[in-house]
Homo-oligomer: A and B are copies of this chain.
């Protein structure tokens, strides 16, 4: 999914230096087939280079504020992150109650719901997050 993104260029557009840590994080997120926890990202970077966890958290927060990644508030007080490039449109997520793993679902047509979901009284709606909770096929077969 990341193949089509030029991360150095993207960072430049955002006015950020294309540092090794930032590039590694974007590559890792781009190669991931699911949303990752900060800890997972940290471990994956550390297979390549020595990095401090604070750096990862700060970069994630920075990317998130710029809309380069989406921070997902899933179950369990651990945030998940996924790339928000043009090739990764927003989509619902499925999370298993047992193994806590997260799957990305196909984007659904949300435009119709949008105005309805905007809420009353002049709120400005910026993001929508849809989370489905249940039991994934793997955990269904176990129990």
A residues apposed to B, CB below 8 Å: 71, 73-77, 79, 92, 94, 96-97, 103, 105-106, 108, 113, 116-137, 140
Contacts and interface: CB of A to CB of B under 8 A. Distances in A.
A113 to B, nearest CB: 6
Nearest to A71: B75
B74 A103 contact: no
A127 B132 CA distance: 6
B117 A92 contact: yes
- Number of copies of this chain that the complex holds: 2
B123 A117 contact: no
Contact of A124 (B79, B121, B135): B135
Given A124-B140, A125-B132, A129-B129, 20 more contacts: A71-B75, A73-B74, A73-B75, A103-B123, A121-B137, A122-B140, A123-B132, A123-B134, A123-B135, A123-B136, A124-B134, A125-B133, A126-B133, A126-B135, A127-B132, A127-B133, A128-B131, A128-B133, A129-B133, A131-B131
A77, A103, A124 interface centre (most CB from chain B within 10 Å): A124
